[in-house]
Structures are given as C-alpha cells and as structure tokens.
Structure 1
C-alpha cells in the first residue's frame, strides 16, 4: 500500500547541493571576469561567442546539481524513483532554461547600456 524506499538517497542530497553551490560560485566569478573584460576592451558585440562559452560549463554544473538535489529530495520524501525523476527533471530543466534566458538578456542589457543602467539603489 505505502511506498517505503529501502535506501533513500540521503548522500545525493548534499552532493547535489555542493555541486550547485560550487558551480554557482564559479559562474559568479566567470560573470565578473566577462563583464570586466567587456569594460576594458569596450567591445560592442553582444553575441561574443567566447564569453558565452565560458558561462556554459558552470551553468550546466548548476543545472545538474539542482536537478540532483531536487530529484533526491523528492525521493527522500517518499516519491518513487521514476516519479521523482519525472517531476524533478522537467521542473529543474525548465527553471534552468528560464534562468539562462534571463541571464542572457541581462548581459545583453549591460552590454548595450552599460553597468550604470543596473544601479537599483539610485531609484530609491
């Protein structure tokens, strides 16, 4: 009647969190370097392939880590493995796609209008 997993993936939960956290720190550092490079070279090509390639690997690490964290968390709370993957994968992949789109639009915005356009403290 009830589903009780024999061995819930307790170890995968902190591993997924660690992967997402370290990849997030790497993505933050990479974005800072890319923006500094843009400010120094003052290039006006928003579709610079080398800067986007540098962001893909840490972002994929965040996607994999968050997917692993979400799926293992669902499985710990009693979802069967197949159902945890069926629910966790689309949620995490859709979220990652939306974040990637937002990141790209923000970087294009910074590229075209400069860093001063993102200063939210001046509005208050």
Structure 2
C-alpha cells in the first residue's frame, strides 16, 4: 500500500524562514552594538571573547530556523520526514560551526588591524 503524504509542512517552512530572519536581525543588531562599544572604549575585553550568550542565542535561533526551513523544504519535495531531518540537522550544524569559526577569525582580524583590515575592495 503506497504512502501518500497528506499535507506538506508549509507552516513549518514559513515559520523556519521567519524565525531565521528574525534571529538574523537580532544577531546583526547585537553584533553591531558590541563592535561599536568595543571601538569606542577599546576595552580590555577582546572582540573574539564577545561571542558569548548575547551572540550565541540569536545565532542558535538562526540555525534552528534554517534547520526547520531546510527540513520542511525537503519534505515539500517528497522526502520522508526522518530523511529530511537526517539531512537538515548535520548540514545545519556543520554550516553553523563553520560560520561561527569564521566569525571568530573575522573579529580577531578586526581587532588586530581595525576596519581597514577588512577592506575587501583592495583585493580586486
């Protein structure tokens, strides 16, 4: 007897997208605020150490939203639920770890060379 998927997870698809976007806005605002505070005060606290709970919580929100968005998207295209999450979770975790590591490197570079160290136009 064939299995027919009665309703695609469109709600979860949209909810994941909105959660990722809302968390991204919070992440962006928090990161800008922390970098501006650091730039004004040049405190003893390094930029790389600013990756605490204030940045981690919105980042996890982005990751969770992306995971649900990706899994729901796969389900919409006919993947079984378990397979969709078996693909979405590792992909989201690995991508999140890479982005978090890259953010740490970027903050270290910013701290060492200031904003001129991030001038990407000078490479072309």
CA RMSD in angstroms comes to 1.9
* TM-score using structure 1 length: 0.89
Aligned-partner Cα distance in 2 for 1:87–1:123: 36
Matching residue of 1:35: 35
Q: How many residues align?
A: 124
1:1-124 matches, within 5 Å, as 3-46=3-46, 49=49, 52-124=52-124
Structure 2: state its 5+ residue gaps. none
Q: Normalised by the size of structure 2, how large is the TM-score?
A: 0.89
Asked if structure 1 preserves the Cα contact closer than 8 Å seen for 2:20 and 2:64, the reply is: yes
| Partners of 1:4 and 1:78 within 8 A in 2 | no
Distance verdict in 2 for CA 1:78–1:113, change over 3 Å: same
Distance, in Å, in 1 between the alignment partners of 2:63 and 2:42 is 31
1:3/1:78 CA distance change after superposition, 3 Å = farther
1:3-44 Cα deviation digits (max 9, x unpaired): 531221111111100000111111111111011011111124
Relative to structure 1, the CA distance from residue 2 to residue 90 in structure 2 (aligned partners, 3 Å threshold; closer, same or farther) is farther
CA contact (8 A) 1:3 1:78 kept: no
Uncovered stretches (5+) of structure 1, i.e. residues with no partner: none
